[in-house]
Amino acid sequence: MVKTWFVTGATRGIGAEIVKAALAAGDNVAATGRSVDALRNAFPASDALLCLALDVTDRARIAAAVDTTLARFGRIDVLVNNAGFGLLGLFEETAPGDAEHQFATNVFGLFDVTRAVLPAMRAERGGHIFNLSSIAGIRGGPGASLYCASKHAVEGFSESLSHEVAPFGIRVTLIEPGFFRTDFLDPSSVKTAAHPVADYAEASRAIHEGYAARNHQQAGDPAKLAAVTVRLANEPNPPLRFAAGSDAVEVVTAKIARLQGDLDAWRAVSVSTDGAFEAA
Ligand SMILES: NC(=O)c1ccc[n+]([C@@H]2O[C@H](COP(=O)([O-])OP(=O)(O)OC[C@H]3O[C@@H](n4cnc5c(N)ncnc54)[C@H](OP(=O)(O)O)[C@@H]3O)[C@@H](O)[C@H]2O)c1
């Protein structure tokens, strides 16, 4: 069956590769992004492709983009909530507006697009939502606290949503990439906290130098991740979480060990807080 995909943040990077992979698989795609010209330059025109201007923070435009897609293709089978950016910097170097900007795109934009697409999926009694999380959604680390917070929000939301929509045949998969070779760490995408705090100067410098050195040197291949995403969309039993890349596998493995270790070390104290109440 030919599927219809709706992809956010498709102008470049992982989103653009997912559009190409879905088209190559013979599916229809609504490729959405902040610049419709960039979308038209990224993909050859075809009847299977609809390029739509969509900034995911522009709530009013989301419904129009979904309606245009439904008018053209009749349904949306796969939603890829990919649009996002990284805000790098230690928490105290950030301002409240930085947090709002980070969450407006990575979290509230994802909520709003999902809310707009779900009625069509429920009507079809089926669909698959891919939410781009990150290894930053699995473990917190120094230097990207607000980005980590946004991806942890995506994790909690997606796991909860998966239970709510399962009765309608709608699946949810979190994609958790490690470091992939896109513009993610490039000045054209990444934002940096702009309120230096002297106490953090040394740590901040080391973190920013580390990210800058990784820019366009990442091991992950976005085209391979896109091909896997198309494969997962065709799996009868896709996972809730998919770790992308060997670095992501290491991070998830270490997180499980850390959770298990803390739980085991403190198990007796944990259960000691149970009440000795009489059964009603
Ligand atoms: N690459 C990695 O190492 C990595 C690792 C873990 C998770 N991820 C996640 O993967 C997703 C894609 O990132 P990427 O690696 O492909 O980075 P990228 O090359 O920087 O691409 C980001 C895409 O998101 C779009 N975007 C940003 N804000 C938007 C908004 N408000 N509305 C619509 N589109 C918006 C950008 O559009 P413009 O072209 O208009 O800027 C661009 O198309 C993100 O959610 C990111 O957090 C990436």
CB contact burial 6-43 (16+ within 10 A = b; e otherwise): bbbbbbbbbbbbbbbbbbebebbbbbbbbeeebbeebb
Per the structure, the complete domain to which residue 216 belongs is given by 4-268
Work out which ligand 1 atom sits closest to the CA atom of 175. Answer: 7
The count of domains in the chain is 1
The span from the CA of 152 to the CA of 161, in Å, is 14
pLDDT tens figures, 220-270: 999 999 999 999 999 999 999 999 999 999 999 999 999 999 999 999 999
Evaluate whether residue 157 is within a structural domain: yes
Evaluate whether residue 181 is within a structural domain: yes
Work out which ligand 1 atom sits closest to the CA atom of 181. Answer: 1
Q: Ligand 1: which of 34, 51, 133 to mutate, most ligand atoms within 8 Å of CB?
A: 34
Reading the chain (280 residues) residue by residue, the pLDDT tens digits are 999 999 999 999 999 999 999 999 999 999 999 999 999 999 999 999 999 999 999 999 999 999 999 999 999 999 999 999 999 999 999 999 999 999 999 999 999 999 999 999 999 999 999 999 999 999 998 999 999 999 999 999 999 999 999 999 999 999 999 999 999 999 999 999 999 999 999 999 999 999 999 999 999 999 999 999 999 999 999 999 999 999 999 999 999 999 999 999 999 999 999 999 987 7
Q: Which residues line ligand 1 (CB under 6 A)?
A: 8-9, 11-15, 33-35, 38, 55-57, 82-85, 105, 109, 132, 134, 177, 179-180, 182-184, 189, 218
Work out which ligand 1 atom sits closest to the CA atom of 104. Answer: 31
Give the closest residue to 86 by CA, choosing from 196, 211, 258, 204: 211
pLDDT tens figures, 75-104: 999 999 999 999 999 999 999 999 999 999
The span from the CA of 270 to the CA of 262, in Å, is 10
Evaluate whether residue 129 is within a structural domain: yes
Evaluate whether residue 280 is within a structural domain: no
Provide the CATH number for the domain around residue 122. Answer: 3.40.50.720
Evaluate whether residue 47 is within a structural domain: yes
Give the closest residue to 109 by CA, choosing from 58, 172, 160, 52: 58
Evaluate whether residue 274 is within a structural domain: no
Give the closest residue to 129 by CA, choosing from 178, 154, 164, 162: 162
The span from the CA of 38 to the CA of 51, in Å, is 9
Evaluate whether residue 175 is within a structural domain: yes
Element (H, E) at 150: helix 145-165
The gap from C-alpha 211 to its chain's centroid, in whole angstroms, comes to: 20
> What pLDDT does residue 247 have?
98
Distances in Å between the Cα of 86 and the Cα atoms of 136, 158, 182, 187 are 10, 19, 12, 11
Evaluate whether residue 279 is within a structural domain: no
Distance (Å) from CA 48 to ligand 1 centroid: 23
- The one-letter amino acid at 160: S
